[in-house]
Amino acid sequence: MSEAGLPRRRLGRSTLEVNAIGMGCAPVGELFARVDDVAAQGTLQAAWDGGIRYFDTAPEYGFGLSERRVGQFLRQRPHSEFILSTKVGRLLHAPRDVAKYRKTFWTGGLEFDFRFDYGYDAIMRSVEDSYQRLGLNRVDMLLIHDLDLFTHGSQLQVNAHLHQLLTGGWRALSELRASGVIRAIGAGLNDAGTVLPLLEATDLDFILLAMRYTLLEHDTLDVELPRCAERGVGLVVGGVFNSGITATGAVSGAYYNYAPATAEIMQRVGRIEAICRRHNVDLPAAALQFPLGHPSVAAVIPGALSAKQVEQNLAHFRQPIPAEFWAELKAEKLLRWDVPTPA
């Protein structure tokens, strides 16, 4: 057991052990809502006070704002006491036309633009840029960020960036790991399409898979997760609430995968909620704990907008869930019969 009773798990083939619940730091980069500096630091402090020592950020999160805030918090603490991951694949730069600059997707964040680049020089520059934003001289893990159809929009673009990675960027990552600068290489993906090509072409330690292995989605059990297990590649699961609906429930305005939930999804979540009530289980607790039943999953990393949300996540993580609850979900065909569930 680790701080505050939070268990640790080995991350794939790496030497790292991470909290089974970590902290996803996109929200402190103002993904869905603006957060002032005091509130952001309070959110990170609540995670620390709750025993969380695994923090995940990225240059993309608030166009540098998340890294700045996470670094401001962590650099006041010995690095031996925490594990930090950030990402590569986007290089931030000043807008070329400030008057016409408009953010896309992010609610807030800093006034920077970016370009995708998975080449050797870009990876090395990205790491140094992250050090400067964080105010730290090292990180523990680097992830290849968003090399997927969800982000790039066409298979042609995915293939072009994958080629750039394999002919340049991967060498940079391998050199950093071999020299001990970083301790693990991962890939952060929003869909499963590039899991197999990356597993075949590289020597990844782990994959951070967002929204594709959750209480509502288990198709990756067919091929991708078994292949990860065969290769000894660990898994971290992000987006455990599928961008909202298993945190809020089937309420008006609920979101599923960054879009308004369809009637079909609302109905399915409503059926799960009914089973939750029968077993006195909170829906967010079931969603948070579900991925941890898979033996390859080392951690889940929910985000939080406030200290209160961090405390709620930790309470959901610790809530006892009876085996009968998971059995009824399978009996009602709301979970696959072969899905591994938490003990």
pLDDT of 215 > 70? The answer is yes
Report the run of H or E that residue 145 belongs to, with start and end.
Answer: strand 141-145
For 209-238, the DSSP string reads EESSSSSS--GGGTTHHHHHHHHT-EEEEE
- Which entry of 36, 37, 54, 61 is annotated as an active-site residue? 61
pLDDT in tens, 283-303: 999 999 999 999 999 999 999
pLDDT, residue 97, reads 85
pLDDT of residue 329: 98
- Tokens 């600059």 label which residue? 101
Q: What's the pLDDT at 151?
A: 93
Q: CA 140 → CA 12, 13, 53, 112, distances in Å? A: 14, 14, 12, 25
Q: How far apart are the first and last CA of the chain?
A: 17
Look at residue 92 and tell me whether its pLDDT is greater than 60.
yes
Q: What is the CATH number of domain 3-331?
A: 3.20.20.100
Query: How many C-beta atoms surround the C-beta of residue 293 within 10 A?
Result: 13
pLDDT recorded at residue 245: 95
Which residue type does 194 have?
T
pLDDT band with cut points at 50, 70 and 90 for residue 133? very high
- Rounded to an integer, what distance in angstroms lies between the CA atom of residue 283 and that of residue 246? 6
The proportion of the chain whose per-residue pLDDT surpasses 70, expressed as a percent, equals: 99
pLDDT of residue 239: 94
- Cα separation, 59 vs 189, in Å, equals 15
Strand partners, 164: none
Q: Which of 12, 45, 48, 43 is nearest to 28 (CA)?
A: 43
Q: Is the pLDDT of residue 2 over 60?
A: no
How large is the greatest C-alpha to C-alpha distance in the chain, in angstroms? Answer: 59
The Cα 142–Cα 171 span in angstroms is: 13
Q: How large is the average pLDDT for residues 164-188?
A: 97
- pTM: predicted TM-score of the whole model, two decimal places: 0.96
Residue 3 pLDDT greater than 80, yes or no? no
Residue 42 pLDDT exceeds 80: yes
Least confident of 27-36, 93-102, 211-220: 93-102
Per the listing, tokens 């994958």 go with 162
Please tell me which residue in 36, 37, 56, 140 is annotated as part of the active site. Answer: 56
- Sequence spans of domains, the chain: 3-331
- Which tens digits make up the pLDDT trace of 52-86? 999 999 999 999 999 999 999 999 999 999 999 99
The model's confidence at residue 1, banded by pLDDT at 50, 70 and 90, is: very low
Residues 6+ apart with CB under 8 A from 17: 8, 9, 10, 11
Q: How confident is the model over 244-288, as pLDDT tens digits? A: 999 999 999 999 998 999 999 999 999 999 999 999 999 999 999
DSSP string, 152-186: HSSHHHHHHHHHHIIIIIHHHHHHHHHTTS-SEEE
User: Whole-angstrom Cα distance, residue 153 to residue 30?
Assistant: 23
Based on the residue annotation, tell me whether 56 is a catalytic residue of this protein: yes
Residue 61 annotated to the active site: yes
Strand partners, 188: 145, 208
Q: What are phi and psi of 263, to 5 degrees?
A: -60, -35
**Mean pLDDT over the full length of the chain:** 95
pLDDT of residue 103: 75
Instruction: Catalytic residue, from 87, 118, 146, 213: name it.
Output: 87
**Tokens coding 217:** 């989605």
3-class secondary structure for 236-279? EEECCCHHHHHHHCCCCCCEECCEECCHHHHHHHHHHHHHHHHH
Question: What is the DSSP secondary structure assignment for residue 103, as one 8-state letter?
Answer: -
pLDDT at 141 over 70: yes
Mean pLDDT of 318-341: 97
pLDDT level of residue 47 (50, 70, 90 thresholds): very high
